[in-house]
Amino acid sequence: MKIKDRVIELLSDKYCGLLPIKSIHEEDTIIDIGFDSLRFMEFVVLIEEEYHIEFPDDLLDIQSTTTVREVIERLEKEV
């Protein structure tokens, strides 16, 4: 599975998110899709387990402008 698809899956209600996959768009912000900093921590742990990487420090803080696309692009570089 492509990283992009897997990230969206992990952000969905199948894993640690609130919305179904079809409701998550790359241009949505992380906050738009229902994440606060504590919920985002669950996503960080899932990513570390899945890809055996250390989650990038600069992505740990979710800004109000951070989009799903930015998270995907950043993780594509790491993995």
Partner 1 sequence: MDLLKLMKKKAERICIRNNNRSICYQEIYETTKNNQELIRAYTESNKKQGQPVMFTDITLGWKLIPLYLACLAEKVTIIPIDLINSPNQTKKILNSTFGIIVKNAHVDDDGKLTKIDINHKVTGYKELRGVAFVLYTSGTTGSPKGIMLTYDNIINNALQIKQQLQIEQEDRLLIIRPLLYASSITGELMAGLIAGASFVVKKHTESPFHSIKLIKMHQVTMMFLTPSLMFKILQLKNYKLYRSLTKVVLSGERLYKYQYLDISNKLLETIQVFNGYGLTEASPRISMEKMQGTFQEASVGNPLSNLKIKITDKSGKQVSKGVKGYLNVKGPSVMKGYFRQKKLTEQALVDGWLNTHDIAKMIGENLYIYGRADNIFIRNGINIQLEDVEELLRATPYVEDTIVEIVKRENHAFELVAHIVPTKSYDPLLLRKEIRKWDTKFWPDKIKIQQEIPNGSTGKLSRILLKQTK
Between 40 and 67, whose beta carbon lies closer to partner 1? 40
The only residue of 1, 61, 65, 77 in contact with partner 1, by rule CB under 8 A: 61
CB of residue 16 vs partner 1: minimum separation in angstroms? Answer: 10
Contact 16, 10 (CB under 8 A): yes
57 lies in the binding site for partner 1 (CB under 8 A): yes
Q: Is 67 helix (H, G, I), strand (E, B) or coil?
A: strand
Beta-ladder partners of 67: 29
- Token pair of 28 as six digits: 């949505």
- 36 contributes a contact to partner 1 by CB under 8 A: yes
